Amino acid sequence: MASLNKVLLSAQTPFLIAKRFRGKINIQKPRKPHYERQLLIDLSKPVYGTPKHKIPDAALCDRGEKSFVKDVDNPFERILANECLNWFNTSKMVVFVHLNSISMEDKMPVFATLAKNNMHMRRYGKKIVSMATKGTRYEAVNHLFTSHQEIIFGQPNNAAKLFKILKKTPQLVVMAGIIQDRLMSKNELVEFSQMPNLDAARSQLCQVLDSAGSLLVQQLNQSQQTFVGYLDKHVELKASESKEPQESKESKSEPESTA
């Protein structure tokens, strides 16, 4: 039994026992805390505003004076604004796209496909765009921004490819665009994308100019050709009239010789 008691853990009695001093705690008139504790209590004490029932009605009116937060000059925002303005100046085609709810897995293939076709999609906020376009010819596009929005930068010859790519992603909605410093709506952008390229338009223009020149030459030569035709007809009639009297004389001389 003694060996068993050695194996089992024995319960240790505590050396200190907490005991209330002087009986009950004085709740009505508690003792002042220590200076450091009182300092901590004062620092962590919450500060509440004036209750609404004590504030006059004029101060509660929404039409009163409002304190606006001052804009803080952020160097990073200026860097983004310069980058955005550089994209506007170097791109002849700028398309503003409204982005609906879309996952990153669906957005990344569109971003990669646009990059392969020499088109770049960037995301800028209203403040950045307003800083970039203030005092420039692109200042009118600020009305299209309410918050962060996607912008596609590229060249006009890729307009057809752009609509072909965005057709597979209905979450990207085209709102407007700028083609060679001209602001266009969505319908105008669609019409522009359906137009032939510059080489085909030049060949069609050359064909129209060539056909107009050949038609002009034909009309100028028509009167001369008709006049020559009339002269040829007149010569044929004269030749036929001269042959008829000779044939009549020959027909009269033939019976006399037979007699």
Residue 201: pLDDT over 80? no
Beta carbons within 8 Å of 201's beta carbon, 6+ residues apart: 195
Look up residue 181 and give its amino acid.
Answer: D
Burial of 13 (0-12, 13-18, 19+ CB in 10 A): exposed
Residues with Cβ within 8 Å of residue 153, at least 6 apart in sequence:
87, 88, 90, 91, 93, 94, 119, 120, 121, 122
CATH of 75-194, one of 3.30.1330.60, 3.30.70.1730, 3.40.190.10, 3.40.630.30: 3.30.70.1730
239-252 pLDDT tens trace:
777 776 666 666 65
What is the predicted pLDDT for the residue at 15? 66
23 versus 88: the higher-pLDDT residue is 88
- In the chain, what's the furthest Cα-to-Cα distance? 189
Tell me: pLDDT of 70 over 70: no
d(CA 200, CA 163): 20
pLDDT for position 82? 92
What number is the average pLDDT over the span 193-213? 78
Q: Is the pLDDT of residue 36 over 90?
A: yes
Cβ neighbours of 128 (radius 10 Å): 22
Give me 172's structure tokens.
Answer: 């990207």
pLDDT higher than threshold 70 for residue 40: yes
Q: What is the DSSP string of 112-140?
A: HHHHHTT-EEEEE-HHHHHHHHTTSTTGG
Q: pTM surpassing 0.75?
A: no
Arithmetic mean of pLDDT over the chain: 80
Enclosing H/E stretch for 170: none
pLDDT of residue 28 exceeding 50: yes
Q: Which residues pair with 151 in a beta bridge?
A: 96, 122
Q: Give the model's confidence band at 147: pLDDT under 50 very low, under 70 low, under 90 confident, else very high.
A: confident
Q: How confident is the model at residue 95 (pLDDT cuts 50, 70, 90)?
A: very high
